Amino acid sequence: MSQPFGQRLAEAVTARGPLCVGIDPHAPLLEKWGLPDSPDGLARFTDAVVDALAGSVAVLKPQLAFYERHGSRGLAVLEDGVAGARAAGALVLLDAKRGDIGSTMDAYADYLRPDHPLAVDALTVSPYLGPGSLQPAVDTARAHGGGLFVLARTSNPDAGTLQLVGEPSVAQRVVDTVRGWNAGTPAGSFGVVVGATLSELDVDLTGLGGPVLAPGLGAQGGSPEDLRRLFGTGTLVVPTVSRDVLAAGPDVAALRAAAQRWAAALAR
C-alpha cells in the first residue's frame, strides 16, 4: 500500500461518499436469500454483494465470524471476496474485533500485511487488555499503510456498563489513546468505533485526528440526523449500514439501489 490508510479513506469518501456496508452472511439471511447455509451459499452471497457494491461504496466491512463458522472453505470464500472488493476500488475493513497481547496480537495484525492471503485495508480491534496490547497492531499498520478502528463507545444497549466506568471513562481513555497514535499525521489511520444510536455523545472526540466508524444506522435505529446531531462537522465519520442494504438481495440491482438510497440520505 503506497499511501497510509487515513489518506486512502479520505480520498475514497471524497470520491464515493462515506457509506460503509457490512457484509454479514448469517444463517437466517442466507435462508432469506434462498441460499444454503454452506460454503457454496456463502460464496454466492459474497459474490453478489461484491458485484453490487464494490465499484461504488467507499468501504465494505465483512464480519469475520460468519466466514469462520464455515471453516477453511468459508475463509477461502472471504479471501476471494476481499480480493475482488479491493480490485473494484472499495476499501475493506475486516470486522474481527481482535484483542490480545504480544505475539498473538502481532499475528492478528498480519491481516494488514500486503503479503497476507487475506490482506485488508483496516481491522477492528478491542482495547480491553490495555493500550499496550494493541501496539503490535499499531506498528504493523504504520509499517504497511493499514488502519485500525478501536472499540470505544459502541452501539449495543448495555455497552455503557463497562465503557462509561471511571473519570475519565474507559471509553474516553480509549479515544485519548487513539488520539495519541494519530498525533503529527495530517490524516490519521487510527479511528474509534462510536455508535450512531447514542442518545448523546458522551466522549470528547476533539482533535482525534482519525476517522470514526459509526455503526447502528437503519435496523438498530440510527439515522443520518443522528450522525449530524452526534458528530457535527469536522470529523471524518464512516456510517455503517448492514441489514437495511443486505435485505434487498439477492438481486444485484436491488442491492445497489438500496446502498444508493442510503448514500443519498447521508449526502443531504
Count of alpha carbons within 13 angstroms of residue 216, beta-carbon side: 24
What span, in angstroms and rounded, lies between the C-alpha atoms of 68 and 83? 17
Asked if 23 and 60 count as a contact pair (C-beta separation under 8 A), the reply is yes
Angle between helices 252-267 and 39-53 (to 10 degrees): 50
- Residues with active-site annotation: 97
What span, in angstroms and rounded, lies between the C-alpha atoms of 188 and 138? 12
For 59, the 3-state DSSP assignment is strand
Environment class of 194 (CB within 10 Å of its CB; exposed 0-12, middle 13-18, buried 19+): buried
For 184, the 3-state DSSP assignment is coil
**Cα distances (Å, whole numbers) of residue 202 to 5, 93, 179, 195, 199:** 27, 25, 16, 11, 9
Q: In the numeric block, which cell numbers belong to residue 220?
A: 438498530
Angle between helices 39-53 and 71-87 (to 10 degrees): 10
